[in-house]
Amino acid sequence: MEDFSANMKQLLQVISNYRQYLKLEKSLSLNTLDAYLLDLTKLTDYAKSINRSVLEITLQDLQGFLAELHDLGIHPRSQARILSGIKSFYHYLLLEELIENDPSRLLDGPKLGFHIPVFLSVEEIDAIVQAVDVSTPEGVRNRAILETLYSCGLRVSELTGLKISQLNFEDQYVVVDGKGSKQRLVPISECCIQLIKYYLTERGAVVIKRGAEDTLFLNRRGAGLSRVMIFNIVKKYAELAGISKNVSPHTFRHSFATHLLEGGANLRAIQAMLGHESITTTEIYTHLDKSLIRHEILEYHPRNK
């Protein structure tokens, strides 16, 4: 019993140190950090069920863990994300010399099919934005939110964290706090600037809560908006516009990238504006307009001249 308590105490200390490592050295966002620790909890529960500590886990044990995730009906993409978190943990244990060999090194992830993200046409985006009734202060805010999502290709967390001090109307760009506390500059359209300026006149009438003075988009109580509220806003106006696709805030980000590609922007520029660390992540958008690709081949391939 004493050994069990000592092992548990050691494990809790290791996990606490790992959390600090993710936060300080990897600069992960709170959402990503929580996801990694939740994945680790799944593994510790599995290890307990086979009477092992996560510090004693073998490759075969990890294969059994993945098989159990599969049997539970966990989607392959979720399995892959969990595996990524597990690999990160064992990499940390190896760095700290808490284990001699990384049992996850040879662990294969689930096979993933090619996933084409849902995106909207320019006309569909316009229909959603136009569905907002701007006769109310809330409507003025919501139209500015939708336009900012689309014009800047922001993640939900980036939108809710956007600050007034990060807007540069004169030079038409916004400073965005992206993943891992990395900042990037994103151009902002004249249309979006006008909507935000209009919203700022309405925002002045709100009693702002302490700590939210610089937060751009506020709720009626003067506090920042939650991720759930942004999802609800997008869903509401997509339904009002009669859009049958499964639309989320991320759909606006996908549409932003798609329309840039269709307009002739190169992948490196799109990568920079989206804040992708790897160009591979951005390359998913190269499939999106088959007619555009067909036109490019017919126009520029030497065999067609």
Catalytic entry in 143, 253, 254, 259: 253
* pLDDT per position as a tens digit, 221-257: 999 998 889 999 999 999 999 999 889 898 898 888 8
Please, are residues 104 and 86 in contact by the beta-carbon 8 Å criterion? yes
Whether the predicted pLDDT of 72 surpasses 90: no
> What whole-number distance in Å separates Cα of residue 285 and Cα of residue 266?
11
pLDDT tens track for 82-114:
888 888 899 989 888 888 888 988 887 776 555
Tokens of 96: 């700290």
Task: Please write the tens of the pLDDT for every residue from 122-180.
Answer: 999 999 999 999 999 999 999 999 999 998 889 888 999 999 999 999 999 899 888 76
Is position 143 annotated as part of the catalytic site? no
Q: Which of 18, 36, 92, 285 is catalytic?
A: 285
The most confident of the ranges 15-29, 67-81, 195-209 is 195-209
Answer for the pair 93, 15: CB distance below 8 angstroms, yes or no. no
Catalytic residue chosen out of the listed positions 143, 155, 254, 259: 155
CATH class belonging to 2-95: mainly alpha
List 81, 87, 179, 235, catalytic entry:
179
pLDDT of residue 113: 55
Specify whether 253 is catalytic: yes
Set 141, 143, 203, 276: catalytic member: 276
Active site residue 285: yes
Q: What sections of the chain are H helices per DSSP?
A: 2-20, 30-49, 59-71, 76-95, 122-130, 137-152, 156-160, 190-203, 227-240, 249-262, 267-274, 279-282, 290-300
Q: Is 268 a catalytic residue?
A: no
Cα radius of gyration (the chain): 23
Tokens at 31, concatenated: 């959402």
In which residue ranges of the chain is CATH 1.10.443.10 found? 122-297
Residue 301 falls in the annotated catalytic set: no
Q: Kindly state the percentage of the chain with pLDDT values over 90.
A: 30
User: Is 294 noted as a catalytic residue in this protein?
Assistant: no
163: DSSP letter? B
Which segments of the chain belong to CATH 1.10.150.130?
Answer: 2-95
CATH class of 122-297: mainly alpha
- What's the predicted TM-score (pTM) here? 0.60
Bigger pLDDT: 31 vs 125 = 125
Which 3-state string (H, E, C) describes 101-130? CCCCCCCCCCCCCCCCCCCCCHHHHHHHHH
